[in-house]
Structures are given as structure tokens and as C-alpha cells.
Structure 1
């Protein structure tokens, strides 16, 4: 129906704007077509969920959570400041974040403010060190934050972007 409508508009001399198609479940099929802009749910940021469910797509995740080690209760156990209030928690514990610099971390437990990790012996992390995590589900993760810090390719801070989803209100 959309193709027929576009053809009819063009035949009537109407300029046709870009066609946006291909939501989350269908964008790989639409990617095979020409003349459409794809629009899967998180197309500007991506997340581990997309990278896992669509391994044939070369996604580059643009949102990274900076997480600090706040305690080291045992040599192979860390407590980091990544709780339910900072990363989407609707998935099972092991599917909330993937750490770029600690890919072997096992998630032991999470509460509102903290995530407890178990790492292999000799991991090298100490209190104050930073872990970089890619959220499994970026949409609700972004909505948990007031703003995003934008960093350029040289890793320099550039600016802060307000998160519009935080400014919502229910009215009666």
C-alpha cells in the first residue's frame, strides 16, 4: 500500500519525502530495499540487545555507562555503583549491561544503587577504578538519567544533552 501511494503521488506531481520504514522486528528486511530510511527503535544509540539479537548487523553502540568500583569485599568480588536507578532492570541480572573492560564479570546481585560482580583471579580492578558498560536495553536506561554527557572521538567532553523523557508529568 505504501509503494502504491508513493507511485500515485509521484504520478500526480507531488514531491514524496523520505519514506521511513522498518521498525525493530522488520528493519533487516527493509534494509534490503532501496529508497527507505530505517527506523528501528534505538537507531541512534544501539545497545547490547540489538547486537545480540541481530549479530549480522554492524551496530556501533554510542551510549556507555561510566561505572566506578566502590568496594572490593573479596579479592575476586567488586561492588560498583550501577543499581536499578542507573540501568534498565527489566531483564534477568546477566542481561542488564556488558562491561567493555570486564567481559568476564559475573553478576551476583543488584539493588537500587549497587551491582556486585565476581571476576576471575588477577582481574586488576581496585576501588575507584572505572568500568565501561554498554546497556542491554538503552531506551529505559536513558530515561533513568537527567542528561547525557557527550564525548567526541578523542574522548573529550563536548556538551551535555538533557533527556526529554525525564521531564514527563501525569496530569488529571
Structure 2
């Protein structure tokens, strides 16, 4: 019996069954772009998804073909509609998402100023600004300040570090991001 070589045109990959692999030659989503715009770190996404950072990195590559359930998890984590993950809107992000991302960054900065200031007047002004931002958007109350380089971790973070092993590949990959 003779064998016939088989090759598939790359244009067909996007329509091939999932058994063919989970890569597509075209851009399928904008997860990585939105994660960075929303200020969600790779580590935070990894923790919330319950998967290693290397797997998160693979999922957020634009040509990775994800299931609807995976897209739904990402939408929840990034607090955006699934449609914003899938398509390139005319003006980047929808206006409410863009405004929320700006307010989150402002809140992180104000909380960092509040925590690190030595002057009482600046601390009071920062706290007033925090209260005003929370009045604008109550969900900002749960936002933490930007982390310092070398900042000590909470005991909860230390527990997670102790129970999870970290591969050299994931550290090198994180340094590239």
C-alpha cells in the first residue's frame, strides 16, 4: 500500500478541527493587550485562573484558539465584555473600559503616594482623593498601591510561594515580559 504525503494550506488552519492544534495563522483575540491596559499582572492573572504563568502566557498569545469558557474566565478577570476580547473596536477599548483602566491607574498611584508620604498634609490630600475616587467608582476601594521593587510580600503571598514550585523557564519568560 502506498502512502500519499499530505500538506494543509495554512489558510485552512483557522477552520480545521481543534484536534489539529490550538494555533491559528490569524489574530483571534486581544487578551494580552487588554491585560496590560487594565493593569493586571501576569502573576495576578495566573493566580486568578489557577494555572502556571507559562500557560497564561500561551493563552494570551493572539493566535491561540481558546474555548468560550476560557474567554469567559479572561473577561471576568479583566472586567471587560467578551466582545472586547475578540474584536478590535474602532477606538481601541469601549469608552467605559478605557475610563475604568484610567481610574484604576490613578487609584494605584494615589494609594502609593498615601502609603509612602512622610508629610501629613500630602497624606491627608491623598486620602481625600482616595475617598473622591471611591465615590466615583466604589469598586476602586479594593485597589492596592503599585508594588515597590523588592516590596515585602504578605503572609498570604508567602504561603502561595511556598506551595508552588517555580521553574527557571517561567522566571526567564517573566523577565522578558
TM-score grouping bracket, smaller chain normalisation = under 0.3
Query: Per residue, is there more strand in 1 or in 2?
Result: 1
What TM-score does the superposition give when structure 1 sets the normalisation length?
A: 0.25
Structure (1/2) with the larger helix percentage: 2
